[in-house]
Homo-oligomer: A and B are copies of this chain.
Amino acid sequence: MRVAGIKKTVGIRVRKLREANNWSQEQLGFKCGLHRNYVGGVERGERNVGIENLAKLAKALGVRPSELVP
C-alpha cells in the first residue's frame, strides 16, 4: 500500500458506508461526535485521520476500524 494513498482509501470507504446507510455527512458526524465539515474532508481524502477518530467513524458505521483502512 502506498503511504500517499491511505487518505483517499479511507475517504472512499467512509463515503461508501455512509451512503449505504442513506446518511448525510451531518448525520454521520452527529453519530460520531465529529463536525460535518471534518467528515467531508475525510471523504475527500484530505484529512490525516487519527486512529481515535477512525475508531469513532468505524463504530458509527458499524464496522471495525480495520475495514476502513487498506
Interface size on A, residues (CB 8 A): 22
Task: Name A's interface SS.
Answer: helix
In Å, the complex CA distance between A51 and B54 comes to 9
Q: How many copies does the complex hold?
A: 2
Q: Is the CB of A59 within 8 A of B1?
A: yes
Q: Is the CB of A55 within 8 A of B10?
A: no
Supposing A1-B58, A69-B69 touch, asked if A48 and B51 sit within 8 A by C-beta, the answer is: yes
Q: Is the CB of A54 within 8 A of B66?
A: no
In Å, the complex CA distance between A52 and B50 comes to 9
- Show the binding face of A for B, using Cβ within 8 Å: 1-3, 6-7, 10, 48-52, 54-56, 58-59, 64-67, 69-70
